[in-house]
Amino acid sequence: MNWKPIIRPRARLQIAEATDWYDSQTPGRGDDFLRLIEDTIESVCRNPYQYQVLRGDLRRAVLRRFPYLIIYAVSEDEVIVLRCVHAHRDPRRWLSES
Measure the CA–CA gap between 59 and 85, rounded to whole angstroms: 13
| Predicted structure pTM score | 0.89
Please state, in angstroms and rounded to a whole number, the distance separating the CA atoms of residues 50 and 39.
Answer: 15
Q: What is the pLDDT along the chain (98 residues), one digit of tens a residue?
A: 789 999 999 999 999 999 999 999 999 999 999 999 999 999 999 999 999 998 899 999 999 999 999 999 999 999 999 999 998 876 656 555 55
Number of independent structural domains in the chain: 1
Instruction: State which residues form the domain around 18.
Output: 4-96
What CATH number is attached to the domain comprising 57?
A: 3.30.2310.20
